[in-house]
Amino acid sequence: MQAGQPSNCRHTRAIAQVSRFVTSEYPQLANTESAGPMTIPYFGGSSFAFLPLQNITSNYQAIIASASLTNTTSLLPPNTDHTLLSGYQAQIDILLDLYKSPHAAVEEIAWEGGNTVCVAMIRPLSRGSILINTTDPTKPPVLDFGTFSHQTDLEVAT
């Protein structure tokens, strides 16, 4: 076998077949039948924006200042181990440094050409928890997604 040559010829052939299908048959299917996975990019467009906090709101400095004053201990379940609390606070400190940057996105906005725009938090400050149901260990665990438990996430999202 020569240097730089794939070790698995079957793998190489499969990639070539997929590549041919994607470059020739998908676009044809989209153009002739308005169907298939290429339909939205061909007919409706796909637009994405990854926005830093400074591009979302002019109030970004106040949001960061307020977030840095939040008592993170109150956001996690009672009796959370101190090492987890320390780790959570370290995550918050790192994330708030990223929030200050004009080069680090905090939100993703996607538009697929329709009448719906999706907004996703990329770096939320909220954290959830999974707890064992101590009253009956055969039951499923207690899940708390913690969505918007950190007030800053709600401020960034709205």
Give the model's confidence band at 118: pLDDT under 50 very low, under 70 low, under 90 confident, else very high.
Answer: confident
Q: Which pTM value belongs to this model?
A: 0.64
- Among 69, 68, 87, CA closest to 127: 87
Do 156 and 63 meet the contact criterion of CB atoms below 8 Å apart? Answer: yes
Q: 82: burial class by Cβ within 10 Å (0-12, 13-18, 19+)? A: exposed
56-115 per-position pLDDT tens digit: 889 999 999 999 999 988 888 888 899 999 999 999 999 999 999 999 999 888 877 677
Q: For residue 36, which of 48, 21, 49 has the smallest C-alpha distance?
A: 21
Q: Within a 10 A sphere around the Cβ of 64, how many other Cβ atoms?
A: 16
Quote the CA–CA distance of 38 and 136 in Å, as a whole number: 49
- The confidence band for 1, taking pLDDT boundaries of 50, 70 and 90, is very low
